[in-house]
Amino acid sequence: MALPGYARQERPTNRRSCVVVTDDRLQRRADGLAARVEALGEALRTSGASDEASAQLLSQASAAVLQALRLEALVEQPAQLSYS
């Protein structure tokens, strides 16, 4: 079972859409976490993990990244508002 948007070779068949983050530090964090999820996908592919297991792990990793970035944005929000 291939991931949506991925061909059998685990290569993107269409460009992923990106969320624009205005804070440079938060954007760098998002880029770093995205690179780690992509590295996880590559490691799963080369290890021969099943498509189903890979899809589940990558889905959970992506959800965790989004939650981490949301938490960072919420934590930073009061600090940014106090500087305004």
Give the integer Cα–Cα distance in Å for 79 and 5: 38
Residue 46 lies inside a defined structural domain of this protein:
yes
What digits encode the pLDDT tens for the residues 3-40? 555 554 444 444 455 555 457 889 999 999 999 999 99
Residue 69 lies inside a defined structural domain of this protein:
yes
- Report the domain count for the chain: 1
Residue 13 lies inside a defined structural domain of this protein:
no
Residue 5 lies inside a defined structural domain of this protein:
no
Tokens of 38: 């992509």
Task: State if pTM tops 0.75.
Answer: no
Residue 1 lies inside a defined structural domain of this protein:
no
**Across residues 48-55, what is the average pLDDT?**
96
Helices assigned H by DSSP within 1-84? 24-47, 51-83
Tokens of 11: 């290569």
Question: Residue 42 pLDDT > 60, yes or no?
Answer: yes
Residue 79 lies inside a defined structural domain of this protein:
yes
Domain housing 67? 24-83
